[in-house]
Amino acid sequence: KPKKKTIPTVLITGCLGAGKTTLVNHVLESKGDLRVAVAVNDFSEKSFDTEMLRKNGRETKMIDLSKGCICCSLSDGFQNAVWELLEESDSNFEDVDYLIIESSGVTDPLLVAAALDQRFGKMSRIRLDHVVCVVDAEWLGMAWMHGHANDNKLLMSQIKTADLILLNKVDLCPRETLELAKEAIKKVAPGMRFQPCCQGKVCLSVILEVEIVGAGEGTVSHDPSDEVTYTVKNTCQLPSGREVITSSREQSGSTHGSFISYVFAPNRPVSFIAFQEHIQGMLPHGTKRIKGEISFAELPTSKFIFQWSGNNRVDLMEETGSGMHGTSTSLAYISEQDVSAKNVDEQFSMPIDSKAVQKLVMAMKVALEDDPWFEVLKFPASAQVSNDSLVVFRLIGSDEKATNPYNLERLYGIDFDALNTEYVNLLNGRGGTHVFLPVRVQAISPSGIPRTIQGLAW
């Protein structure tokens, strides 16, 4: 009787908003011919993380473990779902090369890792290669500087259970704060491997036990954008530095505390003005994470993927290719306070002073038109957008007003779309006092050719 297949597995952990799903998305984009299955545990009632990953990994097997914390049901849904994957893999022996498990940000990974490290029963065919903890570098550095990093018992358990720490979002972290984050890891978990990264972009061979096909022994590509082919290492050895996690280790239960989840899903678009006020100063007390889809009354033909995390960081991405009117909003909130969707709906339903909004928009337009570094854009009439309620612009990076950005693109290869995508991500990611929408606007070049360009709306 042939020996049943063992599936190499990596467990990804980290606090809410650290960038776990972004890391998994990067793996799916970079996996080459590797057949990867993904199990996602979303604490909220609706698994937005699974939906986002499905869009970028259409041929990837997805296991949805939403509506709770997997460390609270290790003997039920979690193990059964993994067992079903193993049974399915048996029927098609080459079906799955690697399993990635993304735990919820409120999950203590100790119990999960112990279950995956079993040497008998359903989980004995799992080969746990790595426990990777994704950490917001700036958050950890600031917490360490102010002396309250150790107060976050959940994060401390996540760091100590891991064998690799990814210090994520270093593009948003001052150098001095990054050094403090490194110091914190060295003190909390001496000898722990760690690597700074941006948007979870690391070489697959750093987090998975894989090697590059055709590369010499010890050869590793250090460019995460390199297109390479990987193969799984045929080894039963544990990665250096990680011990077997057994039931003899302290397992006093989950440390995720009293988090609650609720979904705000009005049957209508919401006001962008009300949204800005909500995010920048009216969030329910105790809010730790928000994610989902949102559409705005001011932009009736667009829908956005929205995420909010610590330090008031916002990530907004316009959904493209759907060709549908963005009329629905569905946001999942994770909070330490008992707040309902009704409270959020009341905030979004507050009256707005439209005259005051138009006055602000006009003042912003005048300032941008006088600044040679920016170009003010307009939505076409077919977009059904009121240009009095939003100002749309883009960064052109020229101190000479006579310099045509289209000529800069043609002569020097400057990609203004990529530049403005980075710009809006930077503005929103730094947790400032305003939220900017990334929007695509139809424009006419000086040669009369219609084209779509990337801009920002406020």
Residue 57 pLDDT exceeds 70: no
Predicted local distance difference test score (pLDDT) of residue 1: 47
Reported as a single tens digit per residue, the pLDDT across 211-233 is 776 655 444 444 544 566 777 77
> Comparing 61-65, 126-130, 166-170, which segment has the lowest mean pLDDT?
61-65
Reported as a single tens digit per residue, the pLDDT across 159-191 is 998 999 999 999 989 999 999 999 999 999 999
Secondary structure, 3-state, the chain: CCCCCCEEEEEEECCCCCCHHHHHHHHHHHCCCCCEEEEECCCCCCCHHHHHHHHHCCCCEEEECCCCCHHHCHHHHHHHHHHHHHHHHHHCCCCCCEEEEECCCCCCHHHHHHHHCCCCCHHHHEEEEEEEEEEEHHHHHHHHHCCCHHHCHHHHHHHHHCCEEEEECHHHCCHHHHHHHHHHHHHHCCCCEEEECCCCCCCHHHHCCEEECCCCCCCCCCCCCCCCCEEECCCCCCCCCCCCCCCCCCCCCCCCCCCEEEEECCCCCECHHHHHHHHHHCCCCCEEEEEEEEEECCEEEEEEEEEEEHHHEEEEEECCCCCCCCCCCEEEEEECCCCCHHHHHHHHCCCCCHHHHHHHHHHHHHHHHCCCCEEEECCCHHHCCCCCCCCEEEECCCCCCCCCHHHHHHHHCCCHHHHHHHHHHHHHHCCCCCCCEEEEEEEECCCCCEEEEEEEEC
Predicted local distance difference test score (pLDDT) of residue 394: 93
Do the Cβ atoms of 209 and 129 come closer than 8 Å? yes
- Most confident range, picked from 34-38, 52-56, 386-390: 34-38
Banded pLDDT at 145 (limits 50, 70, 90): very high
Predicted local distance difference test score (pLDDT) of residue 65: 57
Banded pLDDT at 336 (limits 50, 70, 90): confident
Predicted local distance difference test score (pLDDT) of residue 429: 87
Reported as a single tens digit per residue, the pLDDT across 251-297 is 333 344 567 778 888 888 888 988 988 888 778 888 888 888 899 88
Reported as a single tens digit per residue, the pLDDT across 382-430 is 666 766 788 999 998 765 555 678 778 878 888 999 999 999 998 998 8
> Comparing 105-114, 199-208, 237-246, 397-406, which segment has the lowest mean pLDDT?
237-246
Predicted local distance difference test score (pLDDT) of residue 239: 47
Rounded to whole angstroms, the Cα distance separating 277 from 392 reads 19
Predicted local distance difference test score (pLDDT) of residue 418: 92
Predicted local distance difference test score (pLDDT) of residue 417: 92
Rounded to whole angstroms, the Cα distance separating 334 from 47 reads 12
Average pLDDT, the chain: 78
Q: Find the mean pLDDT for residues 441-451.
A: 79
Residue 240 pLDDT exceeds 50: no
